[in-house]
């Protein structure tokens, strides 16, 4: 086989309920993931040794400067895991073309790892009698990071535990989103730590999170307004505490007609829900004009997870 290219979506968290800090340094979560139509592409091609190249996708103004182009790249870890599982050497060149904001709270690095899992399995596994099915790749993904399994699966799903134990959620229709990126990144561990710090400061015990019934009903009935009202993110306060300017971005989106607004994951990207595709186009133009964001992207969801193209 020569080269395999896999397209993989970004995610937004429709609900991110953060529970207590566990002994292993992770938090118990209830995480409702939703895959949206902002895609990275990863091409895997046989090579003399494991190589990684990272570039911005054509006409995506993504700053890839902070992405490691070596063994530390999550896609390289994915390739090594698949190789070890199949008993082959990880001799592959991975070319990553990014359109998902880097360090943006949209799981771009995890998406690349998921794409590499799928691409390398296609490259090295026996097509007649595959040793690894999609469930195996979802499981391998959990060894790389909490958001990787979802990027393999796609759609809309509820994650519990560290966020990696997934169940697909029933949804109806398509939801229309606008994403506003920031000119800076936020470190995920730093945002979780700030969430713990703020809770401790208030003397507030971490709640055990549970799935929002309102959210699930809105998803199942395709009710955009209901979904907008049910969006929640327990990390939002922490992200705003570290970067207060994000509050102005959220306010701007709400004033310009978003029916739901929240920080995506650990941020700093802000996500806005619109009622219709036209509303989303208008909101994107208005937000761009308001000059509060580094970049504004339109996307819709749910979309499938990592897919060979």
Q: Residues at the annotated binding site for ATP?
A: 101-111
Min. distance of Cβ 87 from ligand C5P in angstroms? 26
CA distance 177 to 271: 7
CA distance 110 to 17: 20
- The H-or-E segment that residue 260 falls in is strand 260-263
With a CB cutoff of 8 Å and minimum separation 6, the contacts of 115 are 6, 7, 8, 40, 41, 42, 75, 96, 151, 306
CA distance 176 to 278: 9
Min. distance of Cβ 57 from ligand C5P in angstroms? 22
Decide: helix, strand or coil at residue 268.
Answer: coil
Which residue in the list 11, 40, 125, 234 is annotated as catalytic?
A: 11
Q: Which of 101, 155, 163, 305 binds ligand C5P (CB under 6 A)?
A: 163
Q: Which is nearer to ligand C5P, 209 or 260 (CB)?
A: 209
162 binds ligand C5P (CB under 6 A): yes
122 binds ligand C5P (CB under 6 A): no
CA distance 229 to 218: 9
Q: Which is nearer to ligand C5P, 19 or 257 (CB)?
A: 19
- The H-or-E segment that residue 266 falls in is none
145 binds ligand C5P (CB under 6 A): yes
29 binds ligand C5P (CB under 6 A): yes
Decide: helix, strand or coil at residue 53.
Answer: strand
27 binds ligand C5P (CB under 6 A): yes
Binding mask 169-198 for ligand C5P (x = CB under 6 A): -------------------xx--x------
What does the binding site for ligand C5P look like in residue numbers (CB under 6 A)? 26-27, 29, 145-147, 162-163, 188-189, 192
């Amino acid at each position: 086989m020569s080269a395999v290219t896999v397209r993989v979506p970004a995610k937004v968290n429709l609900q991110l309920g953060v529970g207590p800090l566990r002994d292993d340094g992770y938090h118990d979560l209830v995480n409702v993931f939703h895959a949206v139509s902002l895609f990275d592409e990863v091409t895997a091609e046989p090579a003399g040794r494991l190589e990684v190249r990272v570039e911005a996708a054509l006409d995506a103004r993504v700053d890839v400067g902070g992405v490691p182009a070596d063994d530390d790249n999550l896609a390289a870890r994915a390739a090594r895991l698949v190789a070890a599982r199949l008993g082959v050497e990880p001799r592959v060149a991975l070319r990553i073309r990014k359109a998902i904001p880097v360090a943006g709270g949209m799981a771009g690095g995890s998406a690349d790892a998921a794409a590499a899992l799928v691409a390398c399995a296609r490259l090295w596994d026996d097509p007649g009698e595959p040793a690894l099915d999609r469930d195996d790749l979802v499981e391998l993904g959990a060894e790389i990071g909490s958001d990787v399994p979802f990027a393999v699966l796609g759609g809309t799903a509820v994650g519990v535990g560290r966020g990696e134990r997934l169940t697909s959620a029933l949804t109806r229709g398509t939801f229309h989103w606008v994403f506003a990126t920031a000119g800076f990144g936020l470190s995920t561990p730093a945002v979780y730590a700030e969430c713990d710090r703020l809770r401790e400061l208030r003397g507030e015990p971490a709640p055990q999170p549970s799935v929002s019934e309102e959210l699930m009903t809105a998803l199942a009935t395709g009710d955009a307004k209901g979904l907008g009202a049910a969006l929640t993110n327990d990390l939002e306060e922490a992200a705003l505490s570290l970067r207060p300017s994000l509050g102005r971005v959220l306010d701007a989106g709400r004033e310009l007609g978003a029916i739901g607004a929240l920080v995506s994951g650990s941020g700093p990207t802000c996500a806005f829900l619109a009622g219709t595709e036209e509303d989303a186009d208008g909101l994107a133009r208005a937000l761009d004009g308001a000059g509060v964001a580094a970049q504004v992207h339109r996307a819709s969801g749910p979309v499938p997870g990592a897919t060979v193209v």
